[in-house]
Amino acid sequence: MQTPGQPQARKQIFPKPSLRSLFLLITGLRRQCYVVGDSMLPTISQGDRVIYRPVDPSKFSPNQGSIVVVKDPLDPNSLLVKRVYKKSLLGLELRGDNELNSVDSRKFGLVSHSSLCGVVEQIFPQAN
């Protein structure tokens, strides 16, 4: 039970990289990125490593609720990690889990399907 003033407990997903994950990274079947910012709290924190499966956006449509990696519409040299809030033929509406501190589709609008880079499969919390 959480007491007042105590930080929220964060569910840790896949706390240690598996041999399979390492193999998929080495062979290029998976990619990784490190998270900057806290727009995905409490699911993902700053410094966490995200392993994602690259996808061909012309052949793949993520499910609503999936966490995806996309090209940042405000900075094409950066990637964003966000949750699919809604999807339509016009694009993806993406939101951060930390709605009070997230630059997402509420600011930049729908993200083109062609900006989709991959779907997050694993989250490795930053080592303390």
Where residue 11 falls among pLDDT bands split at 50, 70, 90?
very low
Overall average pLDDT of the 81-94 stretch: 97
Q: Is residue 18 part of a domain?
A: no
Paired with 34 in beta bridges are 49
**Which of the two residues, 111 and 13, has the higher pLDDT score?**
111
* 16 assigned to some structural domain: no
Please give the residue range of the domain that contains residue 55: 35-124
Output the domain CATH number for residue 67: 2.10.109.10
Count of structural domains, the chain: 1
Nearest to 78 by CA among 115, 25, 42: 115
CA distance 128 to 118: 27
Compare 30 and 127 and report the one with higher pLDDT. 30
Burial 90-125 (b: 16+ CB within 10 A, else e): ebbbbbbbbeeebebbeeeebbebebbbbbbebbbb
6: its two tokens: 């105590």
Residue 28 within a domain: no
Asked whether residue 49 carries a pLDDT value surpassing 50, the answer given is yes
Is 87 domain-assigned? yes
CA atoms within 13 A on the CB side of 74: 8
Within a domain: 48: yes
Residue 52 placed within a domain: yes
Residue 114 lies inside a defined structural domain of this protein: yes
- Asked if pLDDT for residue 94 goes beyond 60, the answer is yes
Residue 13 lies in a domain: no
pTM of the complete model:
0.83
Q: How far is CA 91 from CA 10, 81, 123, in A?
A: 31, 16, 25
| Between residues 15 and 103, the one the model is more confident about | 103
Residues 6+ apart with CB under 8 A from 15: 124, 125
